[in-house]
Amino acid sequence: MLRLAVVGHLARTSGDFNLSDMPGGAGRMDVLCRCVNASFFLSHEFRRDVECYLVLLGGPDSPKTLRFSGEHLRYLSPDERSAGSLIKKALAIPLGEEFRESTPGVQVRRGGLAELLEEHPFAVLDEGGTDVRKIATLPEAYVLSDHLDFTSGDMELLSTRERISVGPLPLHADHAITVLHNEIDRRRSGW
Ligand SMILES: C[S@@+](CC[C@H](N)C(=O)[O-])C[C@H]1O[C@@H](n2cnc3c(N)ncnc32)[C@H](O)[C@@H]1O
Longest dimension (CA), the chain: 47
Specify if 77 maps to a domain. Answer: yes
Judge if pTM exceeds 0.95. Answer: yes
Up-side HSE of residue 130: CA atoms within 13 Å toward CB? 12
144 lines ligand 1 (CB under 6 A): yes
Contacts of 112 (CB under 8 A, 6+ apart): 55, 57, 62, 63, 64, 65
Specify if 146 maps to a domain. Answer: yes
What pLDDT does 157 receive? 98
Atom 6 in ligand 1: residue holding the nearest Cα: 149
149 lines ligand 1 (CB under 6 A): yes
Q: What is the pLDDT along the chain (191 residues), one digit of tens a residue?
A: 999 999 999 999 999 999 999 999 999 999 999 999 999 999 999 999 999 999 999 999 999 999 999 999 999 999 999 999 999 999 999 999 999 999 999 999 999 999 999 999 999 999 999 999 999 999 999 999 999 999 999 999 999 999 999 999 999 999 999 999 999 999 999 98
What pLDDT does 63 receive? 98
173 lines ligand 1 (CB under 6 A): yes
64 lies in which domain range? 1-186
Specify if 191 maps to a domain. Answer: no
User: How many domains does the chain divide into?
Assistant: 1
Specify if 54 maps to a domain. Answer: yes
167 lines ligand 1 (CB under 6 A): yes
CATH number at residue 85: 3.40.1280.10
